[in-house]
Amino acid sequence: MIRKITILGLLLFAFGSVLYAQNFTPVSLLKKSYKADVVAEKYPYDSTSTTIGMDGPLPGPTATNPQHTLYTAALAAQEGALGGLPANRTIARTKSGITHTFLLAPYDSVNAFFVKGGVTDTIFLATPAPYWKLSLLVLSTEQSASIYDTILYTDGTKFSLGSPTITDWYQQIPNPLPANMDTMKTGNGRVARWDPNATAGTFPFEVDGYNPYSSSNFGAANFYYLDLINTCNNWGKSIQGIIIKNRSTNAGGYPCPYVLAVSGIPYVAPTVTLTSTPSGCSGPSGTATITISGGTAGFVLSKWLLTTTTIGQQSTSPATGLPPGRDSAQLVDASGTCKIISPTVIVDSGVMPKPVVASIDTCVGYNVTLSVKNPGTDTTYNWYTVATGGTPVKTGNSYAVPTNTNATYYVEGSITNIAPANDPCTTKPRTVVTVTFEPLLATPVVTIGATTPTSVTFQWAAVPNATSYQVSVNGGPYQTPSSGSTGTSHTVTGTTGANVSISVIAYGKLPCQTSAAGTQSFVIPSNGVFVPKAFTPNGDGLNDVLYVYGNFIQQLDMKIFNQWGQAIFETANKGNGWDGTYKGKMQPSGVYMYALKATLQDGTVVNTKGSINLIR
């Protein structure tokens, strides 16, 4: 038997940096995540186009030191400037085979998340889902900002990522950059935001930072991406949001970190298929195979977690030489830090061929021996009277069962060269065998039924457990009764006065259930009237009454006379015979005369006279 189990989601443990290359795609946010409109898309660049300035002196801008915002490429073209954010709102970069793609919020509405010094706020995902990694499109103004970032899950739990530093958008790019952070795009440009309190200057038209970053051009309005590495313990959890706290204690709120967009890599668990083959009965020979496909983190087999360690550690598929048991595998992701444990796969014990034994249905009095068909040369067979447990009533390839006892037996095979207590190769469940002794059939009791001048019907009571009958007439071959194979009568037709004999045999469902023959005979009477010549009314039950015989008498008038011609008996019913008395007195032995007139069924009238000898 080959076992197979496919698992779509697995338990994860440990965590660390994951190196498996995947691409980041935009993640939609709830609108409440955006706190301000920081992108100028039309002139003038005041509150009709943006809602806040992203930087500037505290407490506010001056004519010589204004606040700034981002601007669109369309506005730059309109004003004859360079730089600006693209019309499709998409910013993407590929580095080391990994592409980060961010989709900015619409430019004519709130489109940036920010937190001032000492403030904590949350970015909410529009559709919570499990993510392997998230990435934030970030920048900081008025110096680099240190933050606390925490992942919030839909079940209310949190995972603290640490305290990264977000680099200022208008200063030299650190080398190296903080962990999990890199430059996303430089030279985005910024525009001075009009301040109605300013008294002079042309700063509303001031555009800078549109040239890409270089060693001689630090002011390039730089964007960065900050990767958030979700712990593999939580890869299967849906992420609701990202909590960000500005660690600055500056009362004016700066430095101020901004998040312009979020992208991510959804977490997809690998599909793991485990199969096994059973262990042989002559020794451990089972196998376990694992197939890993799909998934986000590039999982591969790390090692097998085997029930039995005496066969040594295995880290390839299939694992071989396995005894019966429940085994599992440890998988590791591409970084080698996150591990998952598969469910167990069962390696079955050796498949013992079940003993093949035919059930027996026979007759009472017969001897029965049950035998295993094609028994194994290295197999011991035990015979039980119970399905499980118990003590064998016989050990061997055959068993002569007790006669005339209906019973159910259970046969179990096991390898003879392994101790029974440690034998994984015993057939389960036991083979069920029944022995049934059918009763012998009684001899049919045959009687005479209806008769006619040319036929007679023989009949018999149904024999218990009989399934059919056969009849033989006058010693001829056995045949099906005229009433059918299961009928209980047979009609024989013949000439008047013919002598007919019949033998009836009952058959059961088994050949050994054939009964002895029940017999009967009958003389088909002639079409006439008969009066016996003598009778013996002595009370012995034999021939005590004188009757008129005739099968077809319709009317009868019979009188009997003594020696003196006196009528001493008269009847009109052939069933009413003379018992040898007259007025209650027994008549002496002697010869008596009778006179008889009979009308037959065909209208024939028979007149006859004769003598009767009464013998006592």
Looking at residues 135-153, what average pLDDT do you find?
95
Check residues 318 and 424 and name the one with the higher pLDDT: 318
Q: In this predicted structure, what is the pLDDT of residue 131?
A: 95
- Model confidence at 13: pLDDT above 50: no
Least confident window among 181-185, 276-280, 416-420: 416-420
- What's the CA gap between 300 and 185, in Å, rounded? 35
Question: Do 49 and 191 meet the contact criterion of CB atoms below 8 Å apart?
Answer: no
Q: What is the mean pLDDT of the chain?
A: 86
Single out the residue of 7, 12, 8, 10 nearest to residue 234, CA to CA.
12
Least confident window among 44-53, 160-169, 477-486: 44-53
Long-range interactions of 469-472: CB distance < 8 A, separation 24+:
469/444, 469/504, 469/505, 469/506, 469/507, 470/504, 470/505, 470/507, 471/502, 471/503, 471/504, 471/505, 472/502, 472/503, 472/505, 472/517
Task: For 511-523, give the DSSP string.
Answer: GGGPPPPEEEEEE
- Model confidence at 47: pLDDT above 60: no
Looking at residues 482-506, what average pLDDT do you find?
88
Q: In this predicted structure, what is the pLDDT of residue 370?
A: 97
- Say yes or no: do domains 3-11+270-347 and 446-523 share a fold: yes
* Beta-sheet strand order (sheet of 518-523): 468-473, 499-507, 518-523
- Across 209-299, where does the E strand assignment appear? 223-229, 238-246, 256-266, 271-277, 286-293
> Is 356-438 in CATH node 3.30.1490.20?
no
Tens of pLDDT, residue by residue over 218-228, are 777 899 999 99
CA distances from 530 to 424, 526, 548, 606 (A): 89, 10, 6, 11
- Model confidence at 419: pLDDT above 70: no
By DSSP bridging, strand 256-266 and strand 113-114 are antiparallel
- The pLDDT-based confidence of 11 (bands split at 50, 70, 90) is very low
Fold of the CATH domain 534-614: Immunoglobulin-like (2.60.40)
Q: In this predicted structure, what is the pLDDT of residue 19?
A: 41
Tens of pLDDT, residue by residue over 234-267, are 998 999 999 999 999 886 778 999 999 999 999 9
pTM for this predicted structure: 0.56
For the chain, which residues make up each domain, given as ranges?
3-11+270-347, 34-266, 356-438, 446-523, 534-614
Tens of pLDDT, residue by residue over 541-555, are 889 999 998 877 889
CATH number of 34-266: 2.60.120.1380
- Model confidence at 1: pLDDT above 90: no
Check residues 172 and 498 and name the one with the higher pLDDT: 172
- Model confidence at 198: pLDDT above 60: no
Fold of the CATH domain 446-523: Immunoglobulin-like (2.60.40)
Q: In this predicted structure, what is the pLDDT of residue 16?
A: 35
Tens of pLDDT, residue by residue over 365-414, are 999 999 999 998 778 899 999 999 999 999 999 999 999 999 999 999 88
Check residues 197 and 233 and name the one with the higher pLDDT: 233
- The pLDDT-based confidence of 175 (bands split at 50, 70, 90) is confident
Matching CATH number, 3-11+270-347, of 3.40.630, 3.90.1200, 3.30.70, 2.60.40: 2.60.40
Tens of pLDDT, residue by residue over 54-84, are 886 555 555 556 678 899 998 888 877 888 9
Looking at residues 459-463, what average pLDDT do you find?
95
Neighbours of 476 (CB within 10 A): 10
- The pLDDT-based confidence of 193 (bands split at 50, 70, 90) is confident
- Model confidence at 119: pLDDT above 70: yes
Q: In this predicted structure, what is the pLDDT of residue 201?
A: 41
Neighbours of 171 (CB within 10 A): 14
